[in-house]
Amino acid sequence: MDKSNRPFFSNLKCRECGKLYEKKAIHVCEYDFGPLEAAYDYDAIRTSISRAAIESRPQTMWRYRELLPIDGEPTVGAQVGFTPLVKADRLAAKLGIKSLYIKNDTVNYPTLSFKDRVVSVALSRACELGFKVVACASTGNLANSVAANAAAAGLKSYVLIPADLEQGKVLGSLVYGTNVIGIHGPYDQVNRLCSEIAGKYGWGFVNVNLRPYYAEGSKTMGFEICEQLGWRIPRHTVAPMASGSLLTKIHKAYNEFVKVGIVEETKFSVHGAQATGCAPIAHAMQRGTDIVKPVPKPDTIAKSLAIGTPADGYYAIHAMRQTGGGAEDVTDDEIVDGIKLLAEHAGIFAETAGGVTVACAKKLIASGKIPRDEEAVLCITGHGLKTQEAIAGKCGELRLIKPSLREFEEQIYNPDMAATAAKS
Amino acid sequence: MASVLIPTPLRKLTNDLSEVSAAGANIGEVLANLERAFPGVKERIFDEAGEVRRFILVHVNGEDIRFLDGLNTPVGDKDEVSITPALAGG
């Protein structure tokens, strides 16, 4: 794609001290342990990328190829992304805001969460670097995506998860023939073990030693939002926060699109959403500090967000503060209400993290942090079928009748009509 | 002596050893002895203010020292001390 043979993706670079590194399977700076991030030649990209060029490409996340950190063409997950951006007018009315959009990654391909974006990049890069075994530390969605995409690519995989995850997420990994390892302990312990394993064996851990590549995949959610809005940055974006990486990368995506001349520079705010049972980033924001106090024992139904020691918490806070965004946290009951609000007013069934995002957006609108006469995009990152336990028994009951018209009339139709009449 | 797991970015200083032994009754002493055995380790782990750097986690037997007693967290002979980059996961 690069006609001048000048690589768009040049180096890895320490986010703290700026030291440059080769594009290998490394993720932290040797000097200050700061995160390594993909560095690009934006001048070269500016001459290659254009709205017309992007529009001429297949509708996948890889249409933004110049801004993704691999050398060749993608070999894993070439079909991922370009999920719908849904204008949710009924939900907007319910939440009391002028304009509301849902970025619907519940239907991302192939495993129904935004994690397919990051895995597509990480595993494409893993193949370029020659890895035969790939792995991850996961709260569930990432495990599903690594398992599926590794299976399709013929890579051996190990996924390490907390032992108490939802059944749907465990089965949703096992089915692909991966090795699912349940760890007795919270996610942060899984994470530490994976760092130790990655340091000892030559495995490609997508979110440890391949993290600089992996994390960049999240930017495509931001790129797609801009394109689907007609090439502009939304005024407000609300994203769920686990490690804080997605929010940080959406912020980066908007800035990069400005930098390479794809969209105009306009004012935007990014807001973060967490569950009260594990809200280290939101609580730091609310306290007005950037010191993220770790949560030793997360306790929330939003298990996919239950990261007590968020790797990108510090950067997420700076992204929110710099853009005038806010952070909220919500209880388990509010999360269930959020799932139902989205399902009943937009026809989208999200997992618990989606409930967190909707419920936090509701609070941000109610508090005026997101003004009612403006617009917001909610990033809904995973499908509700994966976390059915969370809402079982909380959204109505099955009504059982015999296959008889009389029973239907007596038990269903007549009482329902009477109830409707009484309401109106 | 406790065993200390060394993360990849520090192994150039530990002759590529991924695990070393270090004496000390608490984490502060163990890390000070690590510096004596492998000069240069200290400035990588601690910032200018003497605090463990923002992007480094120290665990004793899997427990984050921030939830224990920080650098005063006691360390026994058979304990496993782990130094890991904070930047993983999510």
In tens, the pLDDT along A374-409 reads 999 999 999 999 999 999 999 989 999 999 999 999
Residue ending a domain, choose from A166, A199, A214: A214
- Tell whether A411 is covered by a domain: no
pLDDT at site B88: 66
Supply the mean pLDDT for chain A. 96
> Where are the domains positioned within chain B?
2-85
Nearest CA to CA, how far is A105 from chain B (Å)? 17
Residues of chain B with C-beta less than 8 angstroms from the C-beta of A208: 88-89
CATH assignment of the domain containing A286: 3.40.50.1100
Residues in chain A within 8 Å Cβ distance of B12: 30
Evaluate the CA torsion angle A204, A208, A213, A217 in order and state its sign: positive
Find out whether A255 and A227 touch, Cβ atoms under 8 Å: no
Question: CB–CB of B89 and A26 under 8 A?
Answer: no
Its domain, for residue A190, covers 9-78+115-214
Find out whether B28 and B60 touch, Cβ atoms under 8 Å.
no
Contact B7 A310 (CB under 8 A): no
Same-domain pairing of A33 and A177: yes
Closest C-alpha to B22, from B5, B42, B9:
B5
**Does A355 share its domain with A265?**
yes
Query: Is there a contact between A35 and B87 if contact means CB atoms under 8 Å apart?
Result: yes
Q: Please provide the distance, in angstroms rounded to a whole number, between the alpha carbons at the two ends of chain A.
A: 62
Task: Give B20's contacts in chain A (Cβ within 8 Å).
Answer: none
Is residue A4 packed enough to be buried (19+ CB in 10 Å), middle (13-18) or exposed (0-12)? exposed
Task: Report yes or no: B56 at the A interface, CB cutoff 8 Å.
Answer: yes
Contact indicator for A147, A156 with CB cutoff of 8 Å? no
Q: Is the ipTM of this complex over 0.85?
A: no
Same domain for A106 and A40? no
pTM to 2 decimal places: 0.94
Calculate how close chain A gets to B14, using CA atoms only, in Å.
13
Query: Is the residue at A74 inside a domain?
Result: yes
Whether A358 and A275 map to the same domain: the answer is yes
| Domain-ending residue, one of A214, A237, A271 | A214
A260 and A161, same structural domain? no
On whether residue A422 sits in a domain, the answer given is no
CATH number, span B2-85: 3.10.20.30
Q: Are residues B85 and A196, on separate chains, in Cβ contact within 8 Å? A: no
Asked if the structure places residue A409 within a domain, the reply is no
* Residue contact A34–B18, C-beta within 8 A: no
- Residue A396, domain member (yes or no): no
User: What are the pLDDT digits (tens) for A167-202?
Assistant: 999 999 999 999 999 999 999 889 989 988 988 888
Tell me the per-residue pLDDT of A33-60, one tens digit each, with 9 for 90 and over: 999 999 999 999 999 999 999 999 999 9
In a domain? residue A160: yes
A289 and A145 within one domain: no
- Which tokens belong to A81? 């992304």
Q: Are residues A246 and A288 in the same domain?
A: yes
Chain B within 8 Å of A200 (Cβ-Cβ)?
yes
Number of domains in chain A: 2
> Where among A197, A214, A231 does a domain terminate?
A214
Would an 8 Å CB–CB cutoff place A202 in contact with chain B?
no
Question: How confident is residue A1, by pLDDT bands cut at 50, 70 and 90?
Answer: very low
Evaluate whether A88 touches A101 at the Cβ level (below 8 Å). Answer: yes
- A-chain CB neighbours of B88 within 8 Å are 27, 137, 191-192, 194-195, 205, 207-208, 211, 311
Residue A48 lies in a domain: yes
Q: Are A284 and A337 members of one domain?
A: yes
